[in-house]
Amino acid sequence: MDHRHRVGAGIQSHARVTPAAIRFRGVSKVYPVKPTPLVAVAEADFAVAAGEFVAILGPSGCGKSTLLMMAAGLETPTTGSISITGEPMSGPNPHTGIMFQDATLLPWLSVLDNVLFPATIRRLKRATVEPRARDLLATMGLTGFERSRPHELSGGMRQRAAICRALVLDPDVLLMDEPFSALDAITRDEMGAVLLDLWQHQSKSAIFVTHSIREAVLLADRVLVMSPRPARVAHEVVVPFPRPRAPDVADTAEFTGLCAELRAMIARGRP
Amino acid sequence: MTQLRPLSALIFAVVLLAIWQTVTMQSLVPAVLLPSPASIANRIFTGAGTLLPNAASTSLVAVGGFALALVAGLGLAAAMALSAWLTRLLYPNLLLFQLLPKVALGPLFVVWLGIGVPSRLAFTTVVSVFPVVIGTLAGLRAANPGQIRLCQALRASLWQIFIHIRVPGALPYIFAGARIAATLAFTGAVVGEFISSDSGLGHVIMNAASQSDTALVFASLVVLCILGAALYGLVGLAERFARRRWRSR
- Model pLDDT for residues A31-54, shown as the tens digit of each residue: 888 888 888 888 889 999 988 999
Higher pLDDT, B2 or B190: B190
DSSP states along A228-262: SSSB-EEEEEE--PPSS--GGGGGSHHHHHHHHHH
* Cis preceding-peptide flag for B37 (omega within 30 of 0): no
Closest approach of chain B CAs to the CA of A151, in angstroms?
Answer: 8
Question: Do A161 and A177 fall within a single domain?
Answer: no
State the pLDDT at residue A48. 93
Span B216-242, average pLDDT: 94
State the pLDDT at residue B249. 37
B201 neighbors B51 (Cβ within 8 angstroms): yes
State the pLDDT at residue A7. 43
Q: Residue A81 falls within a domain, yes or no?
A: yes
Q: Residue A102 falls within a domain, yes or no?
A: no
Residue A107 to residue B152, Cβ atoms within 8 A:
no
Span B138-164, average pLDDT: 92
State the pLDDT at residue A63. 82
pLDDT band for position B46 (50/70/90)? very high
What CATH number does the domain containing A212 carry? 3.40.50.300
CA torsion sign, A9 to A13 to A16 to A20?
A: positive
Percent of chain B with pLDDT strictly greater than 90: 74
Question: Do A129 and A247 fall within a single domain?
Answer: no
Which of B149, B150, B174 is the best residue to mutate to test the A interface, defined by the most A CB atoms within 10 Å of its own CB?
A: B150
Distance CA B207, CA B199 (A): 10
State the pLDDT at residue B53. 95
State the pLDDT at residue A17. 52
Look up the domain containing A226 and give its range.
2-95+172-268
Span A218-242, average pLDDT: 88
**The residue count for chain B:** 249
What mean pLDDT, rounded, does chain A reach?
86
Find, in chain B, the residue whose alpha carbon is nearest to that of A99: B150
Distance CA B139, CA B66 (A): 20
Q: Residue A101 falls within a domain, yes or no?
A: no
Span A138-162, average pLDDT: 92
Per residue in B122-148, pLDDT (tens digit) is: 999 999 999 999 999 999 999 899 999
Per residue in A170-204, pLDDT (tens digit) is: 998 999 999 988 888 888 888 888 888 888 877 78
Domains along the sequence of chain B with CATH:
54-246 (1.10.3720.10)
**Torsion angle, alpha carbons of A104, A106, A112, A117, to 10:** -80
State the pLDDT at residue A113. 94
Q: Residue A189 falls within a domain, yes or no?
A: yes
Judge whether residue B99 has pLDDT over 80.
yes
Judge whether residue A212 has pLDDT over 80.
yes
State the pLDDT at residue B247. 58
Which of A65, A69, A108, A115 is the best residue to mutate to test the B interface, defined by the most B CB atoms within 10 Å of its own CB?
A: A108
What mean pLDDT, rounded, does chain B reach?
91
Question: Do A183 and A69 fall within a single domain?
Answer: yes
Judge whether residue A4 has pLDDT over 70.
no
Closest CA to B158 of B74, B83, B85, B86: B83
pLDDT band for position A15 (50/70/90)? very low
Per residue in B3-44, pLDDT (tens digit) is: 567 888 899 999 999 999 998 888 788 888 899 999 999 999
Judge whether residue A3 has pLDDT over 50.
no
Helix (H) or strand (E) holding B57: helix B48-82
Which of B155, B160, B248 is facing A92, going by the closest CB pair?
B155
Closest CA to A188 of A155, A217, A221, A165: A155
Which residue among A155, A170, A185 closes a domain? A170
Of A102-111, B81-90, B237-246, the range with the lowest mean pLDDT is B237-246
State the pLDDT at residue A77. 92
Question: Do A43 and A69 fall within a single domain?
Answer: yes
Total domains in chain A come to 2
Residue B142 forms contact with A (CB below 8 Å): no
Angle at CA A115, nearest 5°, toward A112 and A120?
Answer: 100
Span A98-112, average pLDDT: 92
Closest approach of chain B CAs to the CA of A227, in angstroms?
Answer: 26
Question: Do A50 and A178 fall within a single domain?
Answer: yes
Cβ contacts (< 8 Å) between B164 and chain A: which residues? 106, 117, 120-121
Question: Do A56 and A154 fall within a single domain?
Answer: no
Which residue among A118, A147, A170 closes a domain? A170
Which of A74, A91, A107 is facing B249, going by the closest CB pair?
A107
Question: Do A21 and A81 fall within a single domain?
Answer: yes
Residue B164 to residue A120, Cβ atoms within 8 A:
yes
Q: Residue A240 falls within a domain, yes or no?
A: yes
Q: What is the ipTM for the molecules in this complex?
A: 0.86
Distance CA B121, CA B126 (A): 9
Residue B150 to residue A107, Cβ atoms within 8 A:
no
Which of B152, B164, B169 is facing A74, going by the closest CB pair?
B152
CB atoms within 10 A of CB B11: 11
Residue A121 to residue B147, Cβ atoms within 8 A:
no
State the pLDDT at residue B89. 93
Higher pLDDT, B2 or A97: A97
Residue A121 forms contact with B (CB below 8 Å): yes
Residue B21 forms contact with A (CB below 8 Å): no
Judge whether residue A145 has pLDDT over 90.
yes
Question: Do A135 and A201 fall within a single domain?
Answer: no
State the pLDDT at residue B151. 95
Which residue among A118, A145, A170 closes a domain? A170
Cβ contacts (< 8 Å) between A100 and chain B: which residues? 146, 149-150
Residue A104 to residue B153, Cβ atoms within 8 A:
no
Closest approach of chain A CAs to the CA of B239, in angstroms?
Answer: 14
Residue B146 to residue A149, Cβ atoms within 8 A:
no
Find, in chain B, the residue whose alpha carbon is nearest to that of A175: B153
Closest approach of chain B CAs to the CA of A12, in angstroms?
Answer: 28
Q: Residue A62 falls within a domain, yes or no?
A: yes
Question: Do A57 and A118 fall within a single domain?
Answer: no
Residue B33 forms contact with A (CB below 8 Å): no
Question: Do A129 and A262 fall within a single domain?
Answer: no
Judge whether residue A268 has pLDDT over 90.
no
Which of A91, A102, A108 is facing B155, going by the closest CB pair?
A91
Q: Residue A24 falls within a domain, yes or no?
A: yes
Residue B154 to residue A117, Cβ atoms within 8 A:
yes
pTM, full prediction: 0.81
Q: What is the DSSP letter of A188?
A: H
- Return residues 128-167 of A near B (CB < 8 Å): 149, 151
Which of B152, B160, B249 is facing A92, going by the closest CB pair?
B152
Residue A91 forms contact with B (CB below 8 Å): yes
Question: Do A15 and A89 fall within a single domain?
Answer: yes
Residue A122 forms contact with B (CB below 8 Å): yes
Question: Do A87 and A6 fall within a single domain?
Answer: yes
